[in-house]
Amino acid sequence: MSARLVLAMMVTVFLGACEAGSPPPDTPDDEPDWVELSTGKSCAKAVVACGPGNCASRIDNQCKEPVTCDLEIECICRALTGEEGPAKATAGEMTILAGEQDGLLAKVICDSGDVLATIARTVHCY
Q: Determine the Cα–Cα distance for residues 47 and 30; give it in Å rounded to an integer.
A: 17
Q: Mind listing the pLDDT tens digit for each residue in 52-71? A: 999 999 999 999 999 999 99
Domains of the chain as residue ranges with CATH: 3-17+33-125 (2.60.40)
Q: Mind listing the pLDDT tens digit for each residue in 85-95? A: 999 999 999 99
Contact 120, 72 (CB under 8 A): yes
Q: Mind listing the pLDDT tens digit for each residue in 38-48? A: 999 999 999 99
pLDDT tier, 112 (very low <50, low <70, confident <90, very high otherwise): confident
Q: Mind listing the pLDDT tens digit for each residue in 10-41? A: 444 344 433 344 445 555 556 779 999 999 99
- Best CA proximity match to 52, nearest among 15, 100, 4: 15
The pTM of the full predicted model, rounded to 2 decimals, is: 0.72
